[in-house]
C-alpha cells in the first residue's frame, strides 16, 4: 500500500485517475466471459465506491488497477452464485426436443426447458473469451480493440454503435455523448441500455474477428475513435506534453482545439466543424470530457494500424490525430485564453508527432484508396507545414476541402470550406457560398455563425458582423472561446482600426 491517512478527496482523485486510464481495459475483461456489459459496469462501479471507502483507511494499493479488477471480479462471482441470480436467470428452449443435444455446459431440467448455468463455470463462457481466472492481475491486458469490434457487430443498431463504443471502451458519460449527438440524455441512455442487452442476448464473442469481418466493421470503429479524439479537443495542454515526453500513448493528452470531426451524419457535426479551417466548434454543453480521450484515441488508432496495416483510412485517422495533437500546447495562452491557429507560436508544435503523422499519411497515400480521414489529415499537414515555410498554402487547403465536401458533405465540411474560401478568394466569395449552401441546420450551428461573423467583419459589414457574433456567442458554452468571441466583438464595435488578432475562433 502507498500509505494510509488519505482524505476522501485524495482517494477520489486517485480512483478517478485510475478510472480514466483503465476503465475500458477493465470493462473489456470483466464482461468478456459472459457478454454482460451492464453487470460488468455495475461491478466496476461498486469497486470504485469501495475504493473511496477503503483507500483512505488502508492506503492506495501498489497496483490500483489489479485491486479494482479483483474486487469487481469477486462481486460478479458473488452475484452469479447467489440464489437470486439462479432463480431469476431466464430459461432457454431445450434443443433436445429437435434431436440436438444441450449446449456445452448446460444442465437439463424436467420438461422442455433447460436452465442457463452460472457464468462462474467455464462451460458457459463465450467462445474464445479470456476467463477471469486466466487474467494476470499484475499485468492487465488491453482487450479494448476486441470490445470495439463487439460494439460494431451487425446485431447492434448502426445508430448506436459509435455512442456505445465511446461509453464502454473510453468511459464517456452518456449525457456527454447525448449532448454531442444532439439527442436527449434519457433517450441516449435507453439506446445504450438496449444495445448492451442485445450484446448479452446475442452472445457476441469478445474476440477479434477474422480479417474479412474486421474490414466490414472498421468504419464504425474508426468513427468511434475519431469521436473520442474530437470530444477531447478542449483538454488541457499538459496532457499533450506527456504524449510528447513519451510517457505512453495511453497517457492523457490535449486535443487540438481546431481538430473537430466532419462525420458522415449531419447530427454528428455538432461534435465539430472540421480541422483548422476557420470555424471553431462547440462540442456540446456540460462538463469537460475525461482528459485522456485524445491520447487514448491516438493509442487505439495506432493499434489499428498494426492490426490492419494495409487499410489506408486507418493510417489516415492516425495521421489526423498525430498532426492535430502536435499543436496542443500552442493553442492556449499562458493566461488560459484561446489562441487561434494563425497566431500560434510554431516553435511550440511537436515535431516528433508531426513526423509520425506525415509517415502515416505517406503510408495511406501509397495504398491508393482515398478517404475522408486522409483528406482531413492532408489538411492538417498543410497547416503544419507553416512551421517550415512560414506561410499557409490556402489554395492547397481549398482543393482538399472541396474534395472533402464532395466526398462527405456535412455541416462541418460546408463551414470549413467557407472559411478556407474566405482566406483563398476573399470574404465576399465565402459569404456567397454560405448563403447558397441551402442547409437549414446551419441556423443552429455555432461554427457557422462564428465563421459568418468573421467573414462579415472582413467584408466591412460591421452591423451584420456584430449580429452574427451575438448569435455565435448565444450558442457557445466553452469559456475560452466565449472570451475570444467577446473580444472580437469588442474590437469590431470599438473606434479605431480593426485588430489583427480577431478571427473566427479557430485553432
Could you tell me which residue, 235 or 451, shows the higher pLDDT?
451
- Domain shared by 222 and 358, yes or no: yes
Distance of CA 194 to the CA centre of its chain: 21
- How many angstroms separate the CA atoms of 506 and 259, rounded? 9
Q: What is the CATH number of the domain that holds 439?
A: 1.25.40
- Domain shared by 397 and 464, yes or no: yes
Rg (CA), the chain: 25
Give counts: helices (H), strands (E), the chain. 21, 3
Whole-number average pLDDT of the chain: 77
Confidence of residue 450 (pLDDT cuts 50, 70, 90): very high
In a domain? residue 135: no
- Domain shared by 464 and 330, yes or no: no
Return the DSSP state at 461: -
Q: 449-465 burial string, b = 16+ CB within 10 Å, else e?
A: bbbbbbbbbbbebeebb
- Domain shared by 237 and 321, yes or no: yes
Q: In this structure, are residues 355 and 362 in contact, taking their beta carbons and an 8 Å threshold?
A: no
CA–CA distances in Å: residue 3 to residues 57, 65, 273, 485: 9, 17, 47, 47
Confidence of residue 109 (pLDDT cuts 50, 70, 90): very low
Number of Cβ within a 10 Å radius of residue 501: 13
Q: Is the pLDDT of residue 3 over 90?
A: no
In a domain? residue 220: yes
Domain that holds residue 429: 393-488
- Domain shared by 398 and 429, yes or no: yes
Confidence of residue 325 (pLDDT cuts 50, 70, 90): very high
pLDDT at 454: 95
pLDDT at 6: 67
- Domain shared by 313 and 438, yes or no: no
- Domain shared by 366 and 228, yes or no: yes
- Domain shared by 374 and 442, yes or no: no
Q: Is the pLDDT of residue 287 over 90?
A: no
User: How large is the angle between the packed helices 427-435 and 411-425, nearest 10 degrees?
Assistant: 150
Q: Provide the strand spans (E) within 125-208.
A: none
Confidence of residue 506 (pLDDT cuts 50, 70, 90): low
Q: How many domains does the chain have?
A: 2
- Domain shared by 372 and 406, yes or no: no
- Domain shared by 232 and 309, yes or no: yes
Ranges 95-104, 225-234, 490-499: which has the least confidence? 95-104
Mean pLDDT of 302-317: 94
- Domain shared by 257 and 365, yes or no: yes
Least Cα distance to 198 among 355, 49, 37 occurs for 37
In a domain? residue 110: no
Confidence of residue 249 (pLDDT cuts 50, 70, 90): very low
Ranges 203-207, 237-241, 312-316, 411-415: which has the least confidence? 237-241
Tens of pLDDT, residues 385-439: 999 999 999 999 999 999 999 999 988 899 999 999 999 999 999 999 999 988 8
pLDDT at 14: 78
Mean pLDDT of 89-113: 38
- Domain shared by 235 and 306, yes or no: yes
Q: Is the pLDDT of residue 108 over 50?
A: no
Confidence of residue 82 (pLDDT cuts 50, 70, 90): low
Among 249-258, 279-288, 301-310, 496-505, the range with the most confident prediction by mean pLDDT is: 301-310
In a domain? residue 236: yes
In a domain? residue 359: yes
Amino acid at each position: 500500500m502507498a500509505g494510509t491517512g488519505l482524505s476522501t478527496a485524495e482517494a477520489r482523485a486517485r480512483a478517478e485517475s485510475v478510472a480514466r486510464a483503465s476503465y475500458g481495459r477493465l470493462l473489456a475483461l470483466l464482461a468478456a466471459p459472459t457478454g454482460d456489459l451492464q453487470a460488468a459496469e455495475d461491478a466496476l462501479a461498486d469497486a470504485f465506491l469501495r475504493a473511496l471507502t477503503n483507500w483512505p483507511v488502508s492506503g492506495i494499493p501498489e497496483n490500483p488497477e489489479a485491486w479494482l479488477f479483483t474486487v469487481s471480479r469477486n462481486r460478479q462471482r458473488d452475484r452469479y452464485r447467489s440464489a437470486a441470480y439462479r432463480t431469476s436467470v431466464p430459461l432457454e428452449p431445450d434443443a433436445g426436443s429437435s434431436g440436438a443435444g444441450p449446449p456445452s455446459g448446460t444442465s437439463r431440467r424436467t420438461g422442455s426447458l433447460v436452465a442457463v448455468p452460472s457464468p462462474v463455470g467455464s462451460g458457459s463462457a463465450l467462445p474464445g473469451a479470456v476467463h477471469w481466472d486466466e487474467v494476470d492481475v499484475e499485468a492487465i491486458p488491453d482487450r479494448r480493440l476486441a470490445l470495439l469490434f463487439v460494439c460494431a457487430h451487425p446485431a447492434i443498431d448502426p445508430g448506436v454503435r459509435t455512442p456505445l463504443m465511446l461509453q464502454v471502451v473510453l468511459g464517456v458519460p452518456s449525457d456527454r455523448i447525448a449532448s454531442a449527438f444532439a439527442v436527449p440524455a434519457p433517450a441516449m441512455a435507453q439506446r445504450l441500455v438496449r444495445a448492451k442487452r442485445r450484446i448479452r442476448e446475442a452472445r457476441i464473442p469478445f474476440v477479434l474477428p477474422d480479417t474479412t469481418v474486421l474490414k466490414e466493421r472498421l468504419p464504425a470503429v474508426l468513427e468511434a475513435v475519431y469521436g473520442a479524439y474530437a470530444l477531447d479537443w478542449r483538454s488541457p495542454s499538459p496532457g499533450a506534453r506527456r504524449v510528447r515526453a513519451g510517457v505512453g500513448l495511453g497517457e492523457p493528452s490535449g486535443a487540438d482545439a481546431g481538430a473537430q470531426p466532419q462525420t458522415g451524419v449531419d447530427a454528428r457535426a455538432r461534435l465539430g466543424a472540421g480541422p483548422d479551417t476557420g470555424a471553431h466548434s462547440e462540442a456540446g454543453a456540460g462538463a469537460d470530457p475525461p482528459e485522456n480521450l485524445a491520447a487514448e484515441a491516438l493509442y487505439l488508432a495506432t493499434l489499428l494500424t498494426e492490426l490492419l496495416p494495409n487499410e489506408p483510412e486507418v493510417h489516415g485517422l492516425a495521421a489526423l490525430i498525430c498532426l492535430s495533437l502536435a499543436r496542443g500546447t500552442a493553442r492556449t495562452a499562458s493566461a488560459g485564453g484561446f489562441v487561434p491557429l494563425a497566431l500560434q507560436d510554431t516553435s511550440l508544435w511537436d515535431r516528433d508527432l508531426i513526423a509520425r503523422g506525415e509517415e502515416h499519411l505517406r503510408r495511406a497515400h501509397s495504398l491508393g484508396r482515398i478517404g475522408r480521414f486522409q483528406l482531413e489529415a492532408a489538411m492538417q499537414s498543410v497547416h503544419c507545414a507553416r512551421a517550415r515555410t512560414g506561410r499557409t498554402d490556402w489554395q492547397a487547403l481549398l482543393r482538399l476541402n472541396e474534395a472533402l465536401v464532395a466526398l462527405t458533405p456535412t455541416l462541418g465540411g460546408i463551414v470549413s470550406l467557407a472559411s478556407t474560401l474566405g482566406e483563398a478568394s476573399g470574404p465576399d466569395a465565402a459569404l456567397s457560398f454560405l448563403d447558397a449552401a441551402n442547409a437549414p441546420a446551419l441556423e443552429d450551428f455555432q461554427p457557422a455563425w462564428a465563421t459568418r461573423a468573421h467573414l462579415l467583419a472582413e467584408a466591412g459589414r460591421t452591423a451584420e458582423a456584430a449580429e452574427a457574433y451575438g448569435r455565435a456567442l448565444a450558442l457557445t458554452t466553452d469559456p475560452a472561446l466565449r472570451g475570444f468571441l467577446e473580444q472580437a466583438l469588442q474590437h469590431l464595435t470599438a473606434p479605431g482600426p480593426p485588430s489583427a488578432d480577431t478571427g473566427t475562433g479557430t485553432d
